[in-house]
Amino acid sequence: MIEEIIKMYYNAILKYCRAALNGDYAAAEDVTQEVFLALHKKMTTLTIDQNIRLWLYRAADFEIKKYIKKHPSHIPLDELPEETLPSNEDSYDLEVSDCLECLTDDERKLLTDYYTSESKSEVAMEHHIGIDVLYVRVHRIRRRLTNYLSNINKIGT
């Protein structure tokens, strides 16, 4: 019976998870597998009368939230700035130091620590902030850098 449910709903749940996770296929696959693992564990308590499709989508929502909590880099699409790459080859000559000048010394240090450290909780403790605040600050710094690069690209074109 579980094989039939997987055949019927796997692709739909995978697409749902991928959309919720900003198109990250690997993350969506992980979450989808967790959904069907949860289904497998619950099969003895679920009845055929229950709406399995609804249960799967609710489980997907739960697993997506759990995944985002463990991997905060997956911020919902409406909160993410559009990633910007230089639009012409001249933009590649932009020095990293020029780009980082729009940040304060503390922000540069935070960003450096965030991307070079293996433990985000240690970075948060070092900067005397909570882990959630760390993720929010890094997100805001990334947004500011993206806007800065976007403005540079507009000027260069």
Question: What pLDDT does 93 receive?
Answer: 40
Q: Which residues of the chain have pLDDT under 70?
A: 47-50, 72-100, 149-157
Query: Has this prediction a pTM greater than 0.85?
Result: no
CATH architecture of 81-156: Orthogonal Bundle (1.10)
Give burial (CB, 10 Å; 0-12/13-18/19+) of 41. Answer: exposed
Question: What pLDDT does 150 receive?
Answer: 67
Give burial (CB, 10 Å; 0-12/13-18/19+) of 23. Answer: exposed
Question: What pLDDT does 84 receive?
Answer: 38
List Cα–Cα distances, 45 to 3, 42, 48, 63, 97, in angstroms. Answer: 17, 5, 10, 19, 59
Region class of 128: left (phi > 0), else alpha (psi between -120 and 50), else beta? left
Closest CA to 80 of 128, 39, 123, 138: 138
Spatial separation of the C-alpha atoms in residues 136 and 151, rounded to whole Å: 23
The domain ranges of the chain are 2-70, 81-156
Spatial separation of the C-alpha atoms in residues 15 and 134, rounded to whole Å: 30
**The total number of residues written for the chain in this structure:** 157
